[in-house]
Structure 1
Amino acid sequence: MDLFIVFKSIIKAGPTVLLPIVIFLFAVCFRLSIGKAIQSALTVGAAFAGLKLVIEFLAKSLGPATKAMVTHMGVQLNVIDMGFATVAAIGWSSPIVPLMVLALLGTNIALLLLNKTNTLTVDIWNYHHALTVGTFVYFETDNVTVAVAAAACTGMFVYKMADWASPLVSKYYKLPGVTIPAIHALMNLPIAVPINWLFDRIPGFNKIDFNMETLRKYFGVFGQPLMIGLILGVGIGFLSGYDPYQAFGLGINMAAAMMLLPKMTHLFVEGLKPISEQARKVTDKKFKGRKILIGLDPAVLLGDAAVITTALLMVPILLGLAVIIPGNKLLPFADLAALPYKVAMVVALTNGNIFRSLILCTIAFIPYFYLGTWTAPMVTAAATAVGLGDSIPAGMMISSLTGTTMPITFIIYKVFVGNLMITVPILLGVFFAIWFFMEKKVMPKVELRDSISG
């Protein structure tokens, strides 16, 4: 029990505390010297803290602007997006969280030993996505076994999807041996990949490539990340009804984020480099040449200018979708500041093509509005049950762009609260359809494309 209390205290401290501890233990397990392990862990911790500060700065700047934009546009919706932090709090506050954490760890280790995944996640914080699914199932069914199974099943999807995404991470983001086992970062790929496959086969359309290099080539200084941040920030400011000085201030803040994020990401990579090299030596020996992937938080992807540009452009697009989608009650709000996490893998899929990334993300996000609307009563009830009811605005329900609002997590949730004899075969059918398309048809071509371009 004392060990669990210590573990829960570390988890509550958040990823800034958790990540350096896990990285240090990971380095020691791979026989890196204590001195180098400490240096790497502290470097990664400092880099992550820097990333977190910049992202929080971005959120604090963008959050009020988004709220003002909603008011300025006169949008009236009764399900408010309270953000991933609220949903994560629900997951980590569950009375069965120790069992779910052990199930997720055990599932990862078992799949590694059985050679069914190459992903070894050190991103314990983002367990909250699977924990949230398990928690919702527990509140719905009052069945511990079924809830833990739902969390473990979510983990299985994440680890396999992280394997598929690893070529995108290594080639586009230049992070070899790294992948992203965070479902909010991976969630759009099952929708975006087949549509992108179709786009590649449309004559003329498949030649359109509007990327950061294009911007720099044709727009000169106005195509630089700093200037793009300024222009987008000022644009959002005017859409929010800000006066010129406020809009310019928001633009400066966005420009600062565009400049600082790549620097923090570079520091992160420097801290991981000695661990990655040592891990590769050990796994080559122990796993007979298997390439073991280190699973990290998607914050390491946010240094790319195309990611931030796409995320900022998606803000007014998502607010527009909220207004025009029939039957929608979900108002995007808090998670708009977390959009870089959600678009990063799509940007990598398109090799930095902002034009195509915007189209793919727009299509991929449409189901979120319906799923967020449908699950809002359950999310609101769960938040109240774990003591978060005071944070819910009067007369409103809550949801987010994470949790069961994401298509696959919604499917897993519905499977485990339904008739298992009927729903489990459906889940397996969905999984194998995705597996066949991704692993047999798409990802080999991605790897071939990247090997040629690299």
Structure 2
Amino acid sequence: MDFFSIFKGIIQAGPTVLLPIIIFFLAVVFRVSLDKALHSALTVGAGFIGLKVIIQFMANDLGPATKAMVAHMGVNLNVIDMGFGTVAAIGWSTPIVPIIVLLIMVMNMVLLVLNKTNTLSVDIWNYHHSLSMGAFVYFTTNNIFIAVTAAAFTALVMFKMSDWASPLISNYYKIPGVTIPALHALMNLPIVMPLNLLFDHIPGVKDVNINMDTLRKYMGPFGQPLVIGLILGLGIGVCAGYDIYKAFGLGVNMAAVMLLLPKMTGLFVTGLKPISARAKEITDAKLKGRSIFIGLDPAILFGDPAVITTALLMVPILIIMTIILPGNNFLPFADLGALPYKVAMCVAVTNGNIFRSIFFCTIAFIPYFYCATWTAAMVTNTAKAVGLGSSIPSGMLISSFTGTTMPLTFLIYKACIGNLWITLPLLLISFVIGWFVIDKKVLPKLKIIKAYQK
């Protein structure tokens, strides 16, 4: 058995196996006692399994409902959303996987030592964003060096955005000491943060704040997360053409999601507390108070009812966008069940303002449809090249809301397959300018940040 096969076997054990092991060793490194380290690792593992089960439960219900809704509206497009799992599988199926994974790990350590990031990523599964970028560039150019460069640049973007996310997660979600190095959850930040600042200066609009508290205040019992889940699920069922019993069943299931997700998130927080406390003690003593944030899966954020509420409201909006956007051939499907990943940071930026979150997400999703349409043939060919062609419906192209469908990764892909002497310097200059503007001009001015700095 060669190294690649062994490495792939370890990774294929999945995050539910890897995460507790990584958390345990991380706790030991931070000098947490062995009994507490074991308890923390198993608690985090249990929370993660619970989150994944509930999210899959949600996706299994929303998938058929979405398909029925699309059929009900008579939409017929040739680029189908096969979900981020398919794109991740493409990324993990190339022979350059060990090179890219080891490179990302080394990059993370070097950036930490040089004080260019505060993110310590233990979320190895979500390296698939860099891996899929490497795969797409490799099978387009047949050049390993350019493919690895694309993957490394994608990882650099991921680490920087993770640093932007950490204060938002700490301040809004009240989960200190962690961040989420996963591009599908971070990608909308460069769009949403400036939009939020713009809305702060628009008369009338700046005062509109519809959050879970206002829903409870003005809607009474109908503003409770359980009831909101019921209403939204029922509404989606009606739009899908379900009969009243099936629509009500969907509503009850969405209510269950609203109730159970916060409990699973609570397990995450409980399990991480001993590690976060020791990490803070060590960094205060050794790094002059510098904060190090543990990078985890974005599912830890889904306990906030505003996230699920926003995600459910975005389902019919995205279906409508599918119909009205000119030139679009992309049909959202599998990734609609994963919308909480996409909206969670938007909710944090707006401090739980559901009105703004929905508006900003609608704007942010527009380029996704076109990037998916433009790169669908390439994604389909890459899937076939790595042996995943049997899962593609006959006569269809595939894409998802991840991979080259995300605006920034689309630009990275285009830069790496273009005239490299022109496109790569332009990409690097744009990244540096964007880094400076967000770091110095945008992030410090967000109300959610300023409120907790006082």
Return the TM-score normalized by structure 1: 0.98
Match of 2:7 in 1: 7
Q: Secondary structure at the match of 2:294?
A: strand
Unaligned runs of 5+ in 2: none
Which residues in structure 2 correspond to 1:175-254 (within 5 Å)? 175-254=175-254
CA distance in structure 2 between the aligned counterparts of 1:31 and 1:4, rounded to whole angstroms: 32
Cα 1:82/1:448, change in 2 over 3 Å: closer
3-state DSSP of counterpart to 1:294: strand
Amino acid at match of 2:63: G
Partner in structure 2 of residue 40 of structure 1: 40
Q: How does 1:54-65 map to 2 (within 5 A)?
A: 54-65=54-65
2:312 aligned partner: 312
> For residues 448 and 144 of structure 1, what CA distance do their matches in structure 2 show?
41
Q: Contact (CA 8 Å) 2:40, 2:274: kept in 1 or not?
A: yes
Could you tell me which amino acid in structure 2 is paired with residue 100 of structure 1?
I
SS at match of 2:217: helix
SS of the residue corresponding to residue 238 of structure 1 reads helix
Letter in 2 for 1:272: L
Please report how far the alpha carbon of residue 287 of structure 1 lies from its aligned counterpart in structure 2 after TM superposition. 2.2
Which residue identity is paired with 2:50?
G
Paired residue for 1:273? 273
Distance 1:400 1:351 in 2: 28
Provide closer, same or farther for how the CA distance between residues 4 and 281 of structure 1 changes in structure 2, counting only shifts above 3 A: farther
Whether contact under 8 Å (2:7, 2:98) holds in the other structure is no
**SS where residue 398 of structure 1 aligns?**
strand
Encode CA deviations 1:238-285: one digit per residue, 9 max, x unaligned. 100100000000000000000000000011110011011111122223
- Give 1:10 shift: 2.5
Q: Which residue of 1 aligns with 2:452?
A: 451
**Structure 2 counterpart of 1:394:** 394
Q: Which residue of 2 aligns with 1:120?
A: 120
* Partner residue in 2 for 1:86: 86
SS of 2:401's equivalent? coil
Q: Which amino acid is the alignment partner of residue 414 of structure 2?
A: K
Contact residue 170 and residue 177 of structure 2 kept, 8 A = yes
Letter in 2 for 1:115: N
**Pairing 1:376-395 to 2, within 5 Å after superposition:** 376-395=376-395
The answer to which of 414-423 and 79-88 deviates more is 414-423
1:450/1:122 Cα in 2 relative to 1: closer, same or farther (>3 Å)? farther
Shift of 1:448: 4.7
SS of 1:197 mapped into structure 2: helix
Query: 1:85-139 CA deviation, whole Å, 9 max, x = no partner?
Result: 0000000001100001011111111111111001111111100011100111111
Name the counterpart of 2:419. Answer: 419
Could you tell me whether the CA contact under 8 Å between 2:171 and 2:449 is conserved in 1?
A: no
Any idea what the Cα deviations from partners look like across 1:143-184, whole Å, max 9, x if unmatched? Answer: 111111111111111101111111110000001111111111
**Count of aligned positions:** 453
Query: What does residue 100 of structure 2 align with?
Result: 100
How much identity, in percent, do the aligned residues show? 68
Q: Is the 8 A contact 2:81 2:401 kept in 1?
A: yes
The equivalent of 1:303 in structure 2 is: 303
Q: Deviations over 1:308-335 (max 9, x none)?
A: 0000000000010011000000000000
SS at match of 2:49: helix
Question: Quick check: 1:132 aligned with 2:163?
Answer: no
Deviation at 1:53, TM superposition (A): 0.6
Answer whether contact 2:181 2:297 (CA < 8 A) is retained: yes
Q: Deviations over 1:13-66 (max 9, x none)?
A: 221111111111111111212221111100000010000110011011111111
Tell me if structure 1 keeps the 8 A contact 2:192–2:364.
yes
Contact 2:90 2:382 in 1 (8 A): yes
Which residue in the other structure is 2:403 paired with? 403
Deviations 1:211-256 (A, max 9, x none): 1001000000100000000000000001001000000000000000
CA distance in structure 1 between the partners assigned to 2:149 and 2:27 by the alignment: 30
Structural RMSD (CA): 1.2
Which moved further from structure 2: 275-284 or 261-270? 275-284
Aligned-pair CA distance for 1:11: 1.2
Kept in 1, the 8 Å contact 2:346–2:357? The answer is yes
Q: Which runs of 5+ in 1 are unaligned?
A: none
> Is the 8 Å Cα contact of residues 368 and 406 (structure 2) preserved in structure 1?
yes
The offset of 1:433, in angstroms, is 2.6
Paired residues of 1:21 and 1:41 also in contact (CA < 8 A): yes
Judge conservation of contact 2:130–2:155 (CA < 8 Å) in 1.
yes
Match of 1:260 in 2: 260
Runs (4 or more) in structure 1 with deviation over 3 Å come to 1-7
Q: 1:139 to 1:65 in 2, by over 3 A?
A: same
Q: Contact 1:10/1:17 (CA < 8 Å) preserved in 2?
A: no
